[in-house]
């Protein structure tokens, strides 16, 4: 029998700093030292008002990756997302088959997440609501209900409706995948080795056997740039994301911007001592609505996610581009709301390419292709128009919320509020909620665009799997952190099925119960590495 399996975890960044634990400080983490700092290539249909027509794409360069710098939202996507994956030839990925993997990691303490068919307690990943909701969260919640949206748990088999979100948080502190899964076992399991500051250069593959036998990583100031093509797959293609615009602003009468410096210091002290108060939440972003536009054919699936982001209206109107590039204010303090209609099912597809000038340390070339398909832009415009109905509600009128009608510089030639103006705004002030996926598409062998099979094995290469958000054949209609963790849970079972239980093409047990030694000709497979 196998007594242990050795695991090597390589992270290009460093250990997660304490600041990541504070939910309201999430904006500070983007463009920081724990962010890869990627920018898209100049785009033809989006980001048109931004510098060089490029959009920022923050990605976590730290233990826990992007789960350490995101906005902590726990949304799974809808059942139809996963049933669609299965319909594309990915056996084992229907909603009924992936639901146990969502539940496996989940330790859900939300009192309204009581349906045991959909939720679980006891997993590594704590899921809760924030311990703090300011007045505007309740105002927005009432406004959505006035518009007829049903209050539901969007992590069951229904999505269309409104909820105060569940988050990857434990007693007010962020639960990244690092905090939830790695820290509890780090330095306790002798078979786990972690190398931070380790920039992986390539997977080592035997070109004759087409078998992966290790990895090569950079840590000691040496480089190698040659890459031999062993198997030509569509890696980098099928890039998808959830775009949204800046610029639809609701001014408020009652805000938290005027809080004194002394009060803000007290809020920080309160978080440090008790992990609650304004710093333990993300303002109004914790309120979520899924809706449909006239372009959606399914009666079950949303095509727009509505979020009320927070902003400082004076800074934004003075220079909307600079305001977004220098946004480091805690989410607890704001004087206006940004209506964000987020496109959930983009038709446009992008591609990621290697940087030919500096393929190891140069940023990859990100061709987002956002709004290449016009229907994507039109859906967001409809989302704006539906979101503006919030201003008609008693809840918003009582709060004094009003639409800021200042024309943004890039769209001054359009009449404010017309479809043409909204189209200009969406194309000019594009951003995303940083859900880049699908560049190593999962699919059967006959799918020429597929990179991995339904067991997450790279087509044509032995002993190599990809287990992350890149395998999604189509992006889920919702935030991607929870689905990526699910993919990790299912992927780990696929590995164990092979190496520990003799399933599929994996370890074979003899009649005496011992493992066939032929599978260990390369001793310590995971540690067969080269340092540069």
Q: 343, 344, 341, 334: which is closest to 388 by C-alpha?
A: 341
At residue 182, the 3 state secondary structure works out as: helix
Q: Verify whether residue 91 is a known catalytic residue.
A: no
Q: 363, 459, 522, 431: which is closest to 48 by C-alpha?
A: 431
| Helices of type H across 131-278 | 135-146, 177, 261-274
At residue 478, the 3 state secondary structure works out as: coil
Is 200 assigned to a binding site? Answer: yes
Q: Which helix (H) or strand (E) holds 215?
A: strand 211-218
**Is the distance from CB of 192 to CB of 183 less than 8 angstroms?**
no
| CA 421, chain centre distance (Å) | 29
Which one of 119, 242, 372, 435 is the catalytic residue?
A: 435
Number of other CB atoms surrounding residue 24 within 10 Å: 24
Sequential DSSP letters for 328-390: -S-TT--SEEEEEEEESS----BEEE--SSSTTTSPPEEE--TTSSHHHHHHHHHHHHHHGGG
CA dist 59 and 470 (Å) reads: 14
At residue 99, the 3 state secondary structure works out as: helix
Binding-site residue numbers are 62, 200
Binding-site residue numbers for FAD are 62, 200
The catalytic residue positions are 435
């Amino acid at each position: 029998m196998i007594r242990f399996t050795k695991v090597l975890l390589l992270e290009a960044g460093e250990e997660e700093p304490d600041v990541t634990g504070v939910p309201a400080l999430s904006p500070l983490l983007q463009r920081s030292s724990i962010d890869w700092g990627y920018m898209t290539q100049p785009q033809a249909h989006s980001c048109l008002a931004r510098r060089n027509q490029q959009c920022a794409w923050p990605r976590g360069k730290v233990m826990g990756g992007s789960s350490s710098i995101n906005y902590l939202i726990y949304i799974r996507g809808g059942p139809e997302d996963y049933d669609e994956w299965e319909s594309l030839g990915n056996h084992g990925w229907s909603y009924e088959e992936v639901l146990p993997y969502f539940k496996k990691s989940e330790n859900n303490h939300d009192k309204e997440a009581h349906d045991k068919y959909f939720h679980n307690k006891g997993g590594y990943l704590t899921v809760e609501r924030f311990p703090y909701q300011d007045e505007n969260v309740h105002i927005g919640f009432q406004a959505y209900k006035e518009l007829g949206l049903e209050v539901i748990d969007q992590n069951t088999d229904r999505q269309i409706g409104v909820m105060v979100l569940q988050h990857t948080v434990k007693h007010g502190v962020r639960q990244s995948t690092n905090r939830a899964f790695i820290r509890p076992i780090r330095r306790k399991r002798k078979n786990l080795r972690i190398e931070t500051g380790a920039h992986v250069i390539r997977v080592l593959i035997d070109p004759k056997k087409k078998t992966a036998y290790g990895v090569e990583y950079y840590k000691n100031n040496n480089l190698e740039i040659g890459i031999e093509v062993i198997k030509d797959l569509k890696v980098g293609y099928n890039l998808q994301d959830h775009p949204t615009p800046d610029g639809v602003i609701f001014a408020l009468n009652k805000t938290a911007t005027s809080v004194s410096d002394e009060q803000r210091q007290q809020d920080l002290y309160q978080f440090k001592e008790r992990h609650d108060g304004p710093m333990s939440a993300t303002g109004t972003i914790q309120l979520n609505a899924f809706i449909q536009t006239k372009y959606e054919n399914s009666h079950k699936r949303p095509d727009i996610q509505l979020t009320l982001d927070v902003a400082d209206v004076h800074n934004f109107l003075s220079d909307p581009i600079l305001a977004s590039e220098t946004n480091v204010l805690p989410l607890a303090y704001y004087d206006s709301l940004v209506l964000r209609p987020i496109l959930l099912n983009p038709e446009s597809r992008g591609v990621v390419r290697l940087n030919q000038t500096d393929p190891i340390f140069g940023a990859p070339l990100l061709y987002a292709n956002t709004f290449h398909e016009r229907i994507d832009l039109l859906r967001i415009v409809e989302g704006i128009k539906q979101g503006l109905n919030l201003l008609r509600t008693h809840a918003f009128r009582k709060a004094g919320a009003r639409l800021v009608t200042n024309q943004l510089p890039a769209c001054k030639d359009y009449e404010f509020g017309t479809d043409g103006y909204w189209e200009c705004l969406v194309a000019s002030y594009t951003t995303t909620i940083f859900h880049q996926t699908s560049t190593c598409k999962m699919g059967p062998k006959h799918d020429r665009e597929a990179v991995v099979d339904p067991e997450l094995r790279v087509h044509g290469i032995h002993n190599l799997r990809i287990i992350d958000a890149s395998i999604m054949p189509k992006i889920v209609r919702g935030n991607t952190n929870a689905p990526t963790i699910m993919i990790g849970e299912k992927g780990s079972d696929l590995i164990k099925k092979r190496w520990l239980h003799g399933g599929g093409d994996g370890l074979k047990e003899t009649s005496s119960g011992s493992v066939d030694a032929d599978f260990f000709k390369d001793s310590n497979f995971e540690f067969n590495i080269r340092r540069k």
